[in-house]
Amino acid sequence: MDFMNFMDQDFDVKLSKAVKEDTMHEKMKEEMKEKMNDNMTDKMRNDMINELRPLAMAYIPMQKWGTIYDPAKGLKQGTIFPDLDFPFLGREMSSK
Amino acid sequence: MTEKEEMLFNVQKYRFALIDIAMYLDSHKNDKEAMETFKKYGKDYLEAKKAYVDKFGPLMHSDLIGESKWTWTDAPWPWEV
């Protein structure tokens, strides 16, 4: 399986599957097998996946369905997704 | 807000929600919750639009399909409201 095929919403699911099924790129597979275990938390897994991503390859995490604004607020904000609501402030953002 | 403005706002807000959910669905086509929400607001949109059109006239040419008379030019233009 080509590494690029992992770049979608089921990234880590496919990654774990590929590791188990031996369908990954040899070099990555070795690295993954070395580090992966069943007791890993989601965060550890994500950190590891991030570490293994090649340099200079852009990646946008897939959006997940969550709560949405009511339609009136959505129209005002320009998005019904609170996850994507980043108003332009004209200054540096501090964490929420 | 006048009644007319309020009814137009209802059309706009549901229409916008539909567009935003549609873009989400483009990349998550099997998301059931998103699809349900799309259907829910789709129904609200159609109802809001029908209510507006019945009372204040067409918003798009297609609102006149099924009419016997061309009323597009009867209602005030946006800059006349």
* Stretch among A6-15, A42-51, B46-55 having the lowest mean pLDDT: A6-15
If asked whether residues A47 and A83 sit together in one domain, one would say no
| Contact call for residues A16 and A35 (beta carbons, < 8 A) | no
**For position A8, what pLDDT does the model report?**
54
Domain count within chain A: 2
The whole domain housing A82 covers 62-88
| Contact call for residues B45 and B15 (beta carbons, < 8 A) | yes
Q: List, for residues B4-48, the tens digit of each pLDDT value.
A: 999 999 999 999 999 999 999 999 999 999 999 999 999 999 999
**For position A91, what pLDDT does the model report?**
78
ipTM reported for the complex, 2 dp: 0.84
**For position B61, what pLDDT does the model report?**
94
Nearest to B21 by CA among A80, A93, A31, A64: A80
Question: Does residue A73 lie within any of the structural domains?
Answer: yes
Q: What are the chain A neighbours of B19 within 8 Å (beta carbons)? A: none
Residue B20 to residue A80, Cβ atoms within 8 A: yes
Question: Does residue A17 lie within any of the structural domains?
Answer: yes
Separation CA A6–CA B52 (nearest Å): 47
Separation CA B63–CA A38 (nearest Å): 58
Restricting to B residues 19-48, those with a Cβ less than 8 Å away from any Cβ of A are 20-21, 24, 27-28, 31, 33-34, 37, 41, 44
